[in-house]
Amino acid sequence: FIGFQITAILAKRKSEKVRQRDYLQLMIDAQNRMNADTDELDVDDLDEEIYGKTETKVNINNNNESTKTKGTGLTDNDIMATSFIFFVAGYETTAALLSHVFYSLAINEKCQQKLYEEVNGLDGKYDYESVSKMPYLEACIAETLRLYNPIPVINRHASQEYTLGDTGLTIPKGMNVFFDAYTIHHSPEYYPNPERWDPERFMPENRDQLTPYTYMPFGTGPRNC
């Protein structure tokens, strides 16, 4: 169904020259850069900031004739596949998180009241700066991601050989390593009473009690999602 919708949108934008300032339009513009016969394209300046300048390569054939080819190489299937991943990774995970947050608040009235008082204290100023200064809201979201982790298993590709401390175990270069984030998040060794939804675990005064690398709803380190 998603693929059909994306195909329909692509066809409409290309036939009707409809433009939007969104992720899909960036990919359409990148595709147009590859297929265009001229360097003068009707694309957003924003595209160039993201993709950089598109290089034009000059090829010489056997008849000593030159032809120009563009960089990038996006097909409609590439756009569809990338859009699907964007939808699943961005929309579905956010929807699942919000659903579990509301559910958890509904069955924990004291937590609900505490969050209500924090939100009400903003006096209707719900801009980014204000919301980012709401520690209890952040704690509610973090605890929800711990208990209802949208990505239960995380994998990484070893770029080089690595020995795990004094365990005697060595990860060879090129191996895929999988981390069971779900089990870590539900381990009583790291989270007392792990099946209980308790935002207090992630309040600023309690965060330093968390064992490093035992909370990774989207991975951790420089390659986290």
User: Model pTM greater than 0.75?
Assistant: no
Task: Write the single-letter amino acid at 79.
Answer: I
3-class secondary-structure state, position 133 = coil
114/134 same-domain check: yes
Instruction: Tell me which residue range forms the domain holding 121.
Output: 108-209
92/164 same-domain check: no
190/95 same-domain check: no
In a domain, 61, yes or no: no
| Binding-site positions for heme | 225
113/156 same-domain check: yes
153/94 same-domain check: no
At 151-172, the pLDDT tens digits run 888 888 999 999 988 898 999 9
Average pLDDT of the residues of the chain:
82
pLDDT of residue 39: 47
- Mean pLDDT, residues 12-40: 75
C-alpha span between 8 and 3 (Å, rounded): 9
pLDDT of residue 37: 52
At 108-144, the pLDDT tens digits run 999 999 999 999 998 888 888 888 889 999 999 999 9
| Binding-site positions | 225
32/113 same-domain check: no
* Token couple for 187: 């381990």
| Of residues 164, 165, 121, 113, the one with CA closest to residue 140 | 113
How many domains are there within the chain?
2
Question: Bridge-partner residues for 56, per DSSP?
Answer: 70
In a domain, 17, yes or no: yes
86/170 same-domain check: no
DSSP annotation string for 48-95: HHHH-PPPEEEEE-TTS-EEEEES----HHHHHHHHHHHIIIIIIHHH
In a domain, 86, yes or no: yes
| Of residues 89, 98, 104, 79, the one with CA closest to residue 3 | 79
